[in-house]
Amino acid sequence: MNRHCLSRNFSDRQLQSVVIKLCGHYCIYFCIARSNGNDMRKIVRKLTSDTGPKDMFVRACVCSQK
């Protein structure tokens, strides 16, 4: 098994709004960002602390992929 599969990373930062249903978009966004060589810390740092605009940013990023 690959070494990276044995470790876990956690973030105490709230990433998505509690009132919007975009959890799948966040999963896809994370996969896209990881496939582009970003690590979890870089991905989380890129996302602002204001969840409203962040939700729309993630949705736009995912929906622009074809």
Residue 52, in any domain of the structure: yes
The CA distance from 5 to 65, in Å, is 26
Number of domains in the chain: 1
Domain for residue 3, yes or no? no
- The model carries a pTM of 0.72
Closest CA to 45 of 33, 36, 56, 35: 33
Tell me how far apart the alpha carbons of residues 64 and 15 are, in angstroms, rounded to a whole number.
Answer: 20
In a domain, 23, yes or no: yes
User: Which residue range forms the structural domain that includes residue 41?
Assistant: 16-61
Looking at the domain assignment, is residue 8 inside a domain?
Answer: no
In a domain, 53, yes or no: yes
Q: Is residue 42 part of a domain?
A: yes
Q: List the pLDDT tens digit at each of the 66 positions of the chain.
A: 556 566 666 677 777 777 777 788 888 999 999 999 998 888 888 887 787 888 888 889 899 976
Phi first, then psi: what are they for 17, rounded to 5°? -65, 150
